């Protein structure tokens, strides 16, 4: 299957995309897919200005009507799910089933947002003053800037865009320069929904293509009150202060260093399946990838041989071939980072199994997922390497395991496998996992739409997708109405004139 084949299935052609000099390559074989036109300072300025004008019109559209646009987007995504899933696989290297799953996430968040469009509730607040009514209301906030990473090239945009649109905001999307084609295609799909909708303002959704300096222009613009950025902790350290300096809001989804505690009572067969999917899916390039196993010393000898055997049998290869479960790393830099981490692990006392490059496809960086037995939670273990490296450590009691789980700078996702109710509840308690996501008898990957997604510490503290994450895309207003004929002051203050 070629890129042109996928475009045809999407009812598009090369002429529908902005053609230019920037070469987009596939991690599958390193081959060129397309050459796109990148934005410059002037074109970004024009798109931000257009987005700001679109916001002024869109905020006046009733929220349930705004939800209709998102419903139409969901229907378009259903129509093109297979083709878009294949494009995700081709451009970022994840296997086709994961590409389909990512598009399904887009459909699910659209369904969620449609319902949300009739549930943007405020509060009625009791007033201490007689004849007064207090209420809390929520209003659209403005253009929302979305900066997404290569590993989830479409789902993360949809998590933000679907909620922002029903909340009354316009959206500006800067995808990773490694995966611009999926963004351009999603924009075309949304434009089809907008055409069916009928009266969506021009500029309601814009894609901005470019590298660091283009992202900085978006981040620094005061007309964009919210920046939702997904990427590395290093990126977040730069984006957060810049937006804060201009008193904007950020939704940061940064690094993860996710652990699984395997307790003495764990169902080891279930844990094994969860480990393999969570650790090697997307070639270990998820923010929720499993990177550490904390296994009780009494069950390590029963679990580890099975895990090594499973790793040895994992089919690695072209992600569009459904017999493969692991595709390539995104590029050579990712491969080199993986090899550096494995070398450091060895110097810190680790025993490495796997991790070598596989001769699968010239130009693609395919690797055997690695298991690394570590004597302690050393520096390399505490650092997130975006690659399929799984560190294995042992523990003696639950308190030690939780301390190891929490003893890294990141705080995204976590899990425990146990059939002991006390252990499970301790893990979920205030003295347990310090992550934004904590699971029992399920791996750290595969979050569902409906629960707020995000983490603590160096993960950034942001929340996207479900629960009350919609509040990040709106501004809060407290209203007080005096319907009496008197003017009492709060706190009983006397001020007569």
| Residues catalogued as catalytic | 253, 287
Closest CA to 227 of 237, 206, 214, 242: 242
Range list of H helices, 155-179? 155-166
Tokens of 140: 């659209």
- Quick check: helix, strand or coil at residue 25? strand
Q: What is the 3-state secondary structure (H, E, C) of 120-145?
A: CCCEEECCCCCCEEEEEEEEECCCEE
Give the whole-angstrom CA distance, residue 85 versus residue 138: 35
DSSP state for residue 491 in the 8-state scheme: G
389-395 vs 370-373, strand pairing mode: parallel
Angle 354-357-358 from CA coordinates, rounded to 5°? 100
- Count the neighbouring beta carbons within 10 Å of the beta carbon of residue 68: 18
DSSP string, 369-392: -EEEE-SS--HHHHS--SSSEEEE
**CA 459 centroid distance within chain:** 11
Give the whole-angstrom CA distance, residue 186 versus residue 166: 18
Closest CA to 237 of 219, 221, 223, 225: 219
Q: Which residues make Cβ contacts (< 8 Å) with residue 72, sequence separation at least 6?
A: 193, 194, 196, 197
Determine which helix (DSSP H) or strand (DSSP E) holds 64, and give its type and residue range: helix 63-79
Give just the sign of the alpha carbon dihedral 354, 356, 360, 361: positive
């Amino acid at each position: 299957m070629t890129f042109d084949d996928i475009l045809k299935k999407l009812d598009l052609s090369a002429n529908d995309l902005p053609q230019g000099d920037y070469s987009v390559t596939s991690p599958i074989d390193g081959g060129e897919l397309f050459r796109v036109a990148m934005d410059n300072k002037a074109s970004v300025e024009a798109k931000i200005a257009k987005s700001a004008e679109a916001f002024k019109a869109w905020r006046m559209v009733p929220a349930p009507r705004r939800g209709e646009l998102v419903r139409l987007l969901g229907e378009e995504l259903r129509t093109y799910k297979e083709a878009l899933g294949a494009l995700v696989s081709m451009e970022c290297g994840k296997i086709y089933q994961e590409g389909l799953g990512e598009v399904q996430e887009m459909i699910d968040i659209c369904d969620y947002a449609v319902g949300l469009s009739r549930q943007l509730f405020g509060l009625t607040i009791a007033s201490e003053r007689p004849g007064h009514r207090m209420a809390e209301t929520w209003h659209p906030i403005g253009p929302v800037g979305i900066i997404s990473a290569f590993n989830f090239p479409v789902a993360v945009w949809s998590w933000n865009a679907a909620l922002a649109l029903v909340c009354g905001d316009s959206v500006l999307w800067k995808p990773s320069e490694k995966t611009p084609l999926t963004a351009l295609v999603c924009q075309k799909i949304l434009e089809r929904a907008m055409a069916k909708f009928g009266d969506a303002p021009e500029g309601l959704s814009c894609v901005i293509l470019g590298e660091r300096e283009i992202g900085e222009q978006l981040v620094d613009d005061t007309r964009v009150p919210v920046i939702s950025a997904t990427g590395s902790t290093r990126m977040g350290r730069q984006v957060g202060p810049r937006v804060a300096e201009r008193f904007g809001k950020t939704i940061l989804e940064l690094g993860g260093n996710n652990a699984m505690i395997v307790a003495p009572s764990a169902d080891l067969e279930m844990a094994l399946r969860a480990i393999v999917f969570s650790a090697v899916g997307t070639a270990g390039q998820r923010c929720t990838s499993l990177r550490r196993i904390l296994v009780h010393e009494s069950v390590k000898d029963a679990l580890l041989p099975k895990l090594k055997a499973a790793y040895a049998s994992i089919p690695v290869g072209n992600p569009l071939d459904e017999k493969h479960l692991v595709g390539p790393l995104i590029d050579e830099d990712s491969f080199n980072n993986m090899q550096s981490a494995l070398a450091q692990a060895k110097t810190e006392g680790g025993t490495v199994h796997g991790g070598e490059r596989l001769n699968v496809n010239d130009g693609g960086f395919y690797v055997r997922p690695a298991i690394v037995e570590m004597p302690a939670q050393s520096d390399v273990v505490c650092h997130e390497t975006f690659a399929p490296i799984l560190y294995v450590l042992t523990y003696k009691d639950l308190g030690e395991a939780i301390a190891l789980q929490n003893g890294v700078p990141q705080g995204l996702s976590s899990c425990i496998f146990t059939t002991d109710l006390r252990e499970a509840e301790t893990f979920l308690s205030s003295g347990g996992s310090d992550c934004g996501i904590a699971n029992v008898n399920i791996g750290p990957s595969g979050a569902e739409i409906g629960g707020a997604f995000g983490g603590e510490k160096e993960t950034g503290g942001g929340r996207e997708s479900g629960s009350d994450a919609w509040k990040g895309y709106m501004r809060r207003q407290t209203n007080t109405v005096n319907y009496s004929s008197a003017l009492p002051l709060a706190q009983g203050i006397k001020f007569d004139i």
